[in-house]
Structure 1
Amino acid sequence: MGSLQLSPCPRRPGKENLPNVATHEAGQGGGEGPTGDVLRNELSGGQVSGGVVQARDIAHLTIGAGAPPPPPPVRVPRQVPAPPRGFVNRTEELAALDALLAGEPDAPPVAVISGIGGVGKSAFTRRWAHQVSDRFGDGQLYADLGALRHRGGTEVSDVLGGFLRALGVHEEWIPAELPERASMFRSKTAGLRLLLLIDDAEHAAEVTPLLPASRASAVVVTSHRRLGELLLSGAVPIRMAPLSADEGARLLAGMLGEDRLRADPAAAAELVRLCGGLPIALRVAGARLVQRPAWTIERVVRELTDAARRLDRLAVEGKPVVESVFEAAYDGLPPGAARLYRRLGLLPGPDFPPGAATAIDGGDDDVTDLLDVLLDANLLDELGDGDRYRFHDLVRLHAARCAEREESAEERDAALERAAEWYLGRMAAADLAVMGRRLRLADHGRRLAEGAAFGSPGEALDWLDAERANILALLRGAAARGWDAFVWQAAEAMWALYYQRKHYADWLEANRLGVAAALRCGDLAAQARMRNQVARALLELGEYGGAHEELVLARAAAEESGNRRMEAAVLESLGRVDLERGDLEAATAAFREALRVNEDIGNPRGVGLQTYHLGLAHSRGGRHDEAAAAFERAMTVMTEVGDELLQGKIGIRLGTAYRSLGRSADAVRVAGRAAEIMRARRVPAQEARAWELLAALAAESGDPGTARAHVRQAVAAWLAAGNTDRATELRAEHDL
């Protein structure tokens, strides 16, 4: 795979690790009353968010007047994809779904649309969803469980996370565990009028946590199974049968025109029969005829008559009828398009970006043109604006079968290796765009030089998110093939996504695969790296014991490897665990030891990072003088090395420490710069925290007008971050 050594894997030098951020602290104050008695004006007993005003006597308080703020943006999700063109009206089934909305149910009505693959369940439900969209004023939510399943597997918890984000819940407020996410989803949906469309469910257990808590909502589930457990719970079953002869003929007429069908109605009826009434099969056959106006329908019928080559797993009334459609379409492809088609079947998921198609093809043809050929033949669907393509699961099965039949094992492995190498290059570029300079053991120099850079950190994160299930599937396949270097290097590169977007299940699985791969190839530094990344996920999940166990093993591997940067990174993580456990003494000792290692090896960014962590420990212990001094030193170092993101984070912490020390002017200065940095880098949650700090400082200085303006800026930033709850709290607190 080019420079990527599949087995054994090389040892790589390391760099420094990532920062993390601890929580804020609240201060106390007191004074003397007019009679000489000591008055106490304290704030204690918990965390405080936003500004706090402490005063002795308040005769009259006026919050600065001004124009009322604009209302918060309305978030109405409309996630259901558009139905395909040429939909054949299924009157009875549509009427059954309409009946679902009648009456006054005690719980949200649920319908289960079942039928064999390719029968048109998704097209039917999408068509109905758009017809009744005006009945659901709070929006429509959509999840294609089949696509997620084939792309490497996504937990129901992840689907709930996506629904909560669509309803305005910010990432930071979404719980990590499934029960808590389901509970939050029920709370958010209580009283709403929502339509949920759940596509291609395998089991009732995938659906139950997704049910909203509103009688005014409705849920439609499609599945090739009947989902009896849902039916026992009161769901309405709607069986989707293949199209009738008349309906199939109408579908063909929509593609070919009435005149062409009238020329040979018997052949048209036979074509519908051979396709088993499956819309996907009829569309592929019709596409071939559209592309060749001189052909008769009888010619396609003759090609489909041989049932021996039809897909084994798809049958209608015991007779397989579909594979001949795909095979006939494949036989009619030009050589380059046929090669691309069968090699795309080797990818682990049904959708993919154009770059992956180019890599796995390995030919000299323009892949864009080849993809257009496959689109014209209805063997592919285009998603979005041409940035992704998707196979129907039956078509993908046929493509993979063609590859097994026509390509040697060596050719198939070589094609998949090219795709894996391409993915690793894009992952490395995305990691660099998001995280900048950080600890990396893998050397991606050539890959970064050959590939295009991402335009922004947000673009890079979005790409990683779109590909994460495919990448996880690649990791699984690579681990099974013994491609150990790819496994741990890919897991390392995915840190940017996992750390930012918190996909904990994927985070843990990918890095545990990385641990096993590093153990197999004997790379001690990589073992330490992978265990450290596993531990950071466990730390965020509150599993401190498991995190500590991983870090003990990681430290031993790092020390034995001689990679001192990796050793410092593990020490930092040990300090983070101790900090969260409340053992400030142990945390401080770990951060100091990590600082000494970075000083010894001449790693200035590591020095600044560990100084920052020492400041967090001092802040947690209420030692604000020491915290301010540590943050000042860290700011100086990060300015020298040019790490702007950390400068912004440090500025918020330093401003908080200055405020506790009564150094208001200094606090305003550093917090203002932090707000500018976070706005420029599009990190709205951190920007909002900076504005909240500035608002509190302005209020304390007796400038309510400026305080009110900063609160409005904080509200806008929280809304941009998707945290509508915090924005609402600020509006209520400040009467905005």
Structure 2
Amino acid sequence: MDPISAALLAALAGGVGGELGRQVWAGLGTLVRKPFQRDEDGGQLPATRPGEAELTRLEEQPDDPMRAQALSTALAMRAAEDSDFRTGLQQWLTQATALVHSGGGETRNEISGGAFHGPVLQGRDFSGASFTTHTQPSPQERAVRSAIDLSYERLDPLHARLFRLLPLNAGPDISTSAATHLAGIDRDEAEKLLQDLARAHLIEPGDTRGRWRLHDLVRLYADETGKIHAGADDREAARRRLYAHYIAMASAASYASLPWVIFQEPFSPPKAGDVRFSSRGQAAAWLDGEHTNLVAAVTAPQAEGRPGLRVALAWIMGPYLGARWHHDDLVTVTETVLAISHDPNRSTVPVARVLAYLGRELEHCEHEKHGLLACAFKAQARALTIFREHHDRTREAWALFNLSRTHHADRQLHRASEALAQAAAIFREVGDQDGVDAACSRRRRLYLSGQV
């Protein structure tokens, strides 16, 4: 259904139509206060019924066009999600329109200029809707788009720029701190801008304090608009700042919370930046809170375009994903880096080092979840190939050492022994005594166990 005219809502809230008009308005209140039911399962229901707060605010000040528009948009968004509410609202609109057209007031349920505009937006979890579809948009999509249009047009340049940059964060929500780095402004200013955007219902508070999220349709709108203004917003610089923030924080958090995991591997990620956490618990909490954002920054389609930063973040994330048993994410991250490595411009030693580490992490996690070795083999084999292409003999030897461990985990014992022998030979060739000792120690363990 088309959105309800803000003028109609304001008129009825103000008493147009006399006693009959008040009855019609009371009917809308009864409808809005019914329990909210989404057409599809999934997602947490809001604590308040959508439209209830907007209706109350308009009753308090019916001559405020912004409040009328807010209620109109909230009703449209709820109707898009709740079919029972949509049916009831259509019946109510028929009654209200009949009242207006019968002379109960001067209001007309019209959309001036052929398009509805509303300043605010509320709602979430829509399905099957896209701003970029080639098919005719549904009435619900038109209502959402027109609501966002006017909301966006009312933003000043600072608010509009931050709104356009937010979709660069590929994850489901963003912290105030991350938004601060994304926009390149100070934290107080970022927090104020985010709060203002939330009051305009262009974003909404996340599940925890200091986090913010975009509805899927709003994200599409902001991203489309952001691409148009990419030059003025310095969009790529903003993306780099966001990745630099995530890399520095994830590195510090990993080293603070998982030191026993990181320091023992030859291809372990280096520590990036000088960020410090006050405790191991605080560091672990940061990683847990940003987990989905960090994985999305590496793997999500919209993250494409900065392969170097994505690979660096994947390297930093490896220890955490393994230690916290996020095995599926570890596989997805590894496969993403593998795909990047097949770009001729990205077949480099740094990328191979990341693959070698991720492959080792997958092998190490095999005892916790079976089925990880296939991806581990692919990562380690690709790393070995790249090291050989670049004639990096020392890292080639360490890649063989790791590959031998994966063969061992896969019970390919003779291959494990052969890889160790090759690694030991290269270590001797390059004069790496630590490598020689590690390979020999590993080989003795195979012999002492009677396995080779």
State the TM-score bracket (shorter-chain normalisation): 0.5 to 0.7
- 1:278 aligns to what? 77
1:49-128 equivalence runs, <5 A: 89-91=33-35, 113-114=38-39, 125=45
Asked if structure 2 preserves the Cα contact closer than 8 Å seen for 1:348 and 1:474, the reply is: yes
Task: State the 1:357 CA deviation.
Answer: 0.7
Asked if structure 2 preserves the Cα contact closer than 8 Å seen for 1:534 and 1:550, the reply is: yes
Task: State the 1:326 CA deviation.
Answer: 3.2
Give the Cα–Cα distance (whole angstroms) in 1 for the partners of residues 350 and 147 of structure 2: 48
What is the SS of the residue equivalent to 2:205? Answer: strand
Query: Are residues 307 and 404 of structure 1, via their aligned partners in 2, closer, same or farther at CA, if it must alter by over 3 Å?
Result: farther
Greater mean deviation of Cα atoms: 371-380 or 268-277: 268-277
Task: State the 1:344 CA deviation.
Answer: 0.9
User: Over residues 30-79 of structure 1, what are the superposed CA-to-partner deviations in whole Å (9 max), with x where a residue is unaligned?
Assistant: xxxxxxxxxxxxxxxxxxxxxxxxxxxxxxxxxxxxxxxxxxxxxxxxxx
Give the Cα–Cα distance (whole angstroms) in 2 for the partners of residues 595 and 305 of structure 1: 78
Equivalent in 517, 529, 550 of residue 353 of structure 2: 529
1:507 and 2:309 are equivalent in the alignment: no
RMSD between superposed Cα atoms in Å: 4.7
What is the SS of the residue equivalent to 1:345? Answer: helix
1:554-569 equivalence runs, <5 A: 554-569=383-398
Task: State the 1:458 CA deviation.
Answer: 5.2
Give the Cα–Cα distance (whole angstroms) in 2 for the partners of residues 494 and 609 of structure 1: 26
Task: State the 1:351 CA deviation.
Answer: 0.5
Give the Cα–Cα distance (whole angstroms) in 1 for the partners of residues 269 and 59 of structure 2: 61
- 1:400 aligns to what? 223
Asked if structure 1 preserves the Cα contact closer than 8 Å seen for 2:172 and 2:292, the reply is: no
> What's the % identity of the aligned pairs?
25
Letter of the 2:144 counterpart: V
Task: State the 1:486 CA deviation.
Answer: 2.0
Give the Cα–Cα distance (whole angstroms) in 2 for the partners of residues 436 and 543 of structure 1: 20
Equivalent in 61, 68, 72 of residue 260 of structure 1: 61
Q: How many residues align?
A: 369
Give the Cα–Cα distance (whole angstroms) in 2 for the partners of residues 459 and 453 of structure 1: 10
- 1:344 aligns to what? 166
- 1:575 aligns to what? 404
Asked if structure 2 preserves the Cα contact closer than 8 Å seen for 1:276 and 1:321, the reply is: no
Equivalent in 385, 388, 406 of residue 211 of structure 2: 388
Task: State the 1:389 CA deviation.
Answer: 1.6
1:307-706 equivalence runs, <5 A: 307=115, 313=130, 317=139, 320-363=142-185, 366-408=189-231, 411-433=234-256, 434=258, 435-437=261-263, 438-440=265-267, 447-449=272-274, 452-457=275-280, 459-476=282-299, 477=301, 480-481=304-305, 483-519=306-342, 520-521=344-345, 523-533=347-357, 535-536=359-360, 539=363, 540=366, 541-542=370-371, 547-548=376-377, 551-584=380-413, 587=416, 590-591=419-420, 594=423, 613=442, 617=446, 620-621=449-450
Query: Are residues 620 and 479 of structure 1, via their aligned partners in 2, closer, same or farther at CA, if it must alter by over 3 Å?
Result: farther
Letter of the 1:570 counterpart: A
Asked if structure 1 preserves the Cα contact closer than 8 Å seen for 2:358 and 2:376, the reply is: yes
Give the Cα–Cα distance (whole angstroms) in 1 for the partners of residues 111 and 333 of structure 2: 46
- 2:88 aligns to what? none
Considering fraction of residues, name the structure with more strand.
1
Give the Cα–Cα distance (whole angstroms) in 2 for the partners of residues 533 and 440 of structure 1: 5
Give the Cα–Cα distance (whole angstroms) in 1 for the partners of residues 396 and 294 of structure 2: 28
Asked if structure 2 preserves the Cα contact closer than 8 Å seen for 1:336 and 1:363, the reply is: no
The normalised TM-score by structure 1 is 0.42
Asked if structure 1 preserves the Cα contact closer than 8 Å seen for 2:206 and 2:212, the reply is: yes
Give the Cα–Cα distance (whole angstroms) in 2 for the partners of residues 273 and 257 of structure 1: 10
Give the Cα–Cα distance (whole angstroms) in 1 for the partners of residues 140 and 316 of structure 2: 48
User: Over residues 487-519 of structure 1, what are the superposed CA-to-partner deviations in whole Å (9 max), with x where a residue is unaligned?
Assistant: 332222221123223433332332233234344
Letter of the 1:114 counterpart: D
Query: Are residues 371 and 498 of structure 1, via their aligned partners in 2, closer, same or farther at CA, if it must alter by over 3 Å?
Result: same
Query: Are residues 358 and 597 of structure 1, via their aligned partners in 2, closer, same or farther at CA, if it must alter by over 3 Å?
Result: farther
Give the Cα–Cα distance (whole angstroms) in 1 for the partners of residues 185 and 437 of structure 2: 48
In structure 1, runs of 5+ residues without a counterpart are 1-86, 95-112, 129-242, 282-300, 624-736
Give the Cα–Cα distance (whole angstroms) in 2 for the partners of residues 514 and 346 of structure 1: 20
Letter of the 2:77 counterpart: L
The normalised TM-score by structure 2 is 0.63
Give the Cα–Cα distance (whole angstroms) in 2 for the partners of residues 355 and 280 of structure 1: 35
